[in-house]
Every structure is written in structure tokens, then in C-alpha cells.
Structure 1
Amino acid sequence: PSPGGFQPSPSPQPSHSPATARTPQSYPLQVPSPGPLNTPGNPNSVMSPAASQSEDQLYMDKLKQLSKYIEPLRRMINKIDKNEDRKKDLSKMKSLLNILTDPNTRCPLKTLQKCEIALEKLKNDMAVPTPPPPTVPSTKKQYLCQPLVDAVLANIRSPVFNHSLYRTFAPAMTAIHGPPITGPVIPTRKRKFEDDDRQTIPNILQGEVARLNSKFLVNLDPTFCSNNGTVHLICKLDDKNLPSVPPLQLSIPADYPDQSPQWDNESHEYEANPFLQNVHKNMTSKLLQLPDKHSVTALLNTWALSVRQACLSAA
């Protein structure tokens, strides 16, 4: 072929020679197109803006994650600054600190990941505080009184638990419901017996005396000492509508109420004046009208009725 066959055609063709690469006409041909040349297989490809932004975000996240090592790393550097044997380690630590703290110092993401591995190895020496786990909001419904329930469950085995509960809630419960309701207080004067170990008072007699009318005052007779179970009582009549009369002395047998109480009328106190003699007469008459088995209450009521009848006779 002739040399003329190698002449370029009139249409412009891209030339790969250095001379033609510097000509103004060939400059636009060297600008890489964003499409076909930005492939992973092309080593000369340029990263797209989206990929670059994503890598920057990963870099900043990793840098923020490693910021917890800054202060421990500084303390470590200050600690070994004067140690001649660890000059090499000191230089590496300062480089790591510079990467973490200087915003103008930028390294590839892979390098930053290698820094993380190195810092993890130094973690025990630097005593990096482990951040607490993130607080996960509880999905369980929180009741209004739940703190109180938790406190009760935590202290329920305490030996002073009941005392603490009473001291805490008693004032409030008293304010809401008022003082506790109690039964009527029985006057002690009508059911009080002298303490005497020599006379044992049956429960049935104690109950009957406790239920007597308040005008009857009943006490043990201290002048008697009975070992056969007989109880000796002194009964006084305290009625504001009746005159004062001598007390009545009764003997209660051990098998009461199977046997009736006995009136000790040997006393001469009811012979002092005509009025008392009339009371004694009425009393003797009415006792004969009582049934063979009668109670202490019936006997005392007969006594009070005799005194009232004597008053009517005297009027």
C-alpha cells in the first residue's frame, strides 16, 4: 500500500498521540462521561456524588463512634509521655489522637477501621468506660400505685413491716373512717371484784354480775375465806330515788345456778329503825314468793322492790 493510504480522513478522529492530546480540539474528548466510564471495573472511574456522600456519612458515624476513646487516649499519652521504652507506641497513639480530634486530618474509611481495631486492643489499658445500654421504653402499662406496690413487695419480709404500715396509713384511715367503733364500756364499779385467790368466781356468776343494773354495786366479801367453792358477796344499792340502806350479804353456792343464792339475814343492821324493819319484813315475804331456783339478779331486784315498798308505806 502507498503511504498516502495512511492519511487521516477529513472527518476528525481522536488521536492517542501526546501531541494531539494537548490540542484544544482533543480536550473535550478526554472528559470522562459519567455513564460508561463510572463502572466498578474501570480503575479510572470517578465516584458518583451519592456514593461519595454515603461514604462521608459512614466516615462521620465511625468517627463519632470512636470519640469515646479521645479522653482515655489522651490520658494514656500523658502517662507514657516520659517513658523512653515506649516512644514507638507514643507516636502511634498521637497519630490516632490526631485522626480523632483534628477535623482537617482525613483518612480513608479503611484506615479509620484499622484505627478502631488498634484502639480496641488498647481498651483495657485505657480503661474506656462502657456506655450504658440504651433505655428501652417499657411497653408494660404503668399503674398509678405501682411504686407503692413495689415498695411493699420489697419490704414485706421486714420484721417492722406491720409497724411501718400502721404508722404510715393509720392517720389517713382514721381521717377517712373516723375512730374505731368499740362497744360500750361497762362501768368497772359494778363488775369489779377484789382480788382474792382464796375465792374462785365461776364464769357464769361473773357474767351475771356484769349484766346487773348499774344501781347494784357488787364486791367480794373480804371477811370470808371459803375453800368449798362458795362465793360471798356484798351488794350495795346505789339508787338516787331510794334512801340509803345497809348492804346485802349473799352466799353463792359452788353449784350455782343449780342451787339458789342465800341471803345472810343474821345481821342486825335492818333492826336499827322501823323503816329498815319494814324493809326486812317485805324482803322476807317476797323471797318466799320466788321459785325454788332463782338467780342473784332476781334476789337483788326483790331487795330493791322491798325498799321501794317500804318508802311508799312510810309516805
Structure 2
Amino acid sequence: MGPSNNSFPRPNVFFLIGVPGLEVAHARLSVPLFFMYLTAILGNMSMMLLIIVERRLHSPMYYFLSTLSITDVVLSTSIALKMLGIFWFDLREIDFVSCLIQMFFVHCFTSLESGVLLAMAFDRYVAICTPLHYTTMLTNTLIIKIVLALLIRGTAIVTPCPLMASWLPYCHTHHIPHSYCDHMSVVKLACTNTTVNNAYGLTVVLLVIAFDVAFITVSYSLILKAVLQLSCRTSRNKAFSTCTSHVCVILVFYSLGLFSFLTHRIGHIAPYIHVILSNLYLLIPPMLNPIVYGVKTKEIRRSAARLLSCTTK
């Protein structure tokens, strides 16, 4: 039997180590991570502004893209500010409740990002496979319902993680070997049996990934089949060009997530490798998303050019 929750007082604060084993290199590590965060913020804010201002971009695809940009801003900010505070000013202390709030935002918006990528895959399926029904199927009401459902899903499945973590007794060190309050990193500090916490966290990750990846794969398989049946070469090239950007974003997001997930559970992997991969997982996709969509989507390029030409006149 592990000690009861009343055996040890709840810690007032935790201390984030940053990157374990590379503390002397924090200043150097902060440079690329800061520029990733800055690029993510500027790129996604610009994308949101462009979609709001340009009426030509008021369509389902770009509504989902603006939702992705909002998610990326929240997700990257939820870790970057505290991480840079550790690297630059040695501000390692984080309030217990603030740690749990950060844990919620990181995992909730990671789930939301995965869901938005699924919604965008569905959008491309409808646009390419049933183009005549695109505007009647993907109405503004349906888009709002999809986004709300994804947000509710993320909130519902992630909320138990910080709640269960708050009930655990922390009788040993309060130093978290990470640069942010990751669920597993916090739970490992508890001095009681955490099988339930570990099993729930693992189940949530596997269910979200399995569900979203399965339906994304089905959507793009049907899209590929439909595109190959198009008789017009120009239409095929346009469809391939549009979907390529989506596939690139999906591959980057899930491949980094898989590496981060596996390194957390393989014992002989150095802790600093896991922490660096976790940071890249939450910074690289938000940084790349506006770049990839801005370069690959012709309408976004044209709208940006028009907006720039108007502001320079």
C-alpha cells in the first residue's frame, strides 16, 4: 500500500530543471527555440489576420486553418514563455496550480490540433470527392459544431490528468526533469502507486492518435482514389498541390509526437533527448504550419500579395 494523500502536504511549488544534463547550454539552446516560437507567433497571427481581412478566404478550408493557427499560438505559448524564463533568467519555480494548468493547456491543445488536422482532412475529402455539395455540406453552423466538439473532446479527456495528479502525494523531490509540466514528468515524482495515472494518460494518447490517424488515412485514401480518376491533368495537379501541404503538416506533427511519446517510455534514452524532442514537437509544427500553407496554397499567396500591395500604396 502506498502512503495516503494526507501523509505528505501538497507541494506549494515545483521546480522545472529545463533540459536535464544540459543546464550549462541553456543560453545556447534558447536561441533556436526562441526563433521557432517567434516565427510561430508571427506566422500564425499573420495567417489569422489575413483570413479575417480577405473576404475571398471566408470559406470552410480557411476557417479550419484559422482554428489551427489559434491552436498553434496557444500551444506554443503555453510552453515557450516559461521555458525561456528558465533558460534566460533561471526562473525555475512554478506554482503547483499553475503547473497543473500548464499541463491541461499543453495536452488539451495537442488533442485539439490533432482534431483540427482531422477536420481539415474531412474538408479536403468533401471538396475533392463531392465538390457539388461542398458549400451545402460544410456550412458555417457545421464548422462551429465541429470545432466545439473537438474542444469539448480535448477538455473532457484531458481534465482528469491534472485532477488525478493533484490528488497524488509528492513526498520526494519537487524538481521536474523537464522544461514544462508534462503529465508523465509530474506523475513520476509521486511517492505512491501511479498505475492508474499512467494507464489513463497512455489510453488517452493512443485513442486520440488511433482515432484521428485512422480517419485521416481513410480520407486521404479516398481523396487519392478520386484524384487519380480525374480526366483533367490541371485538376489533378491542383488537387495534389492542395493536399500535399496538408500531408506535410500531418507527417511532421505525428512523427514528432511519436518520437516524443516513445522516448518517454524507453528507459535507456537520455532525459535531455526526450525534453528536446518534446519542445520541438510543440514548436516545430506551429512554426511550419503557416509557412507550409502560405507557400503551397495559391489563394493565400495571392491574398497576401494583394494586402501588401494595398498597404504600400
- Classify the TM-score, shorter chain: under 0.3
Of structures 1 and 2, the larger Rg is shown by: 1
Task: Flag the structure with more relative contact order, 1 or 2, with Cα contacts below 8 A and sequence separation at least 6.
Answer: 2
The answer to which structure has the higher helix fraction is: 2
TM normalised by structure 1 equals: 0.20
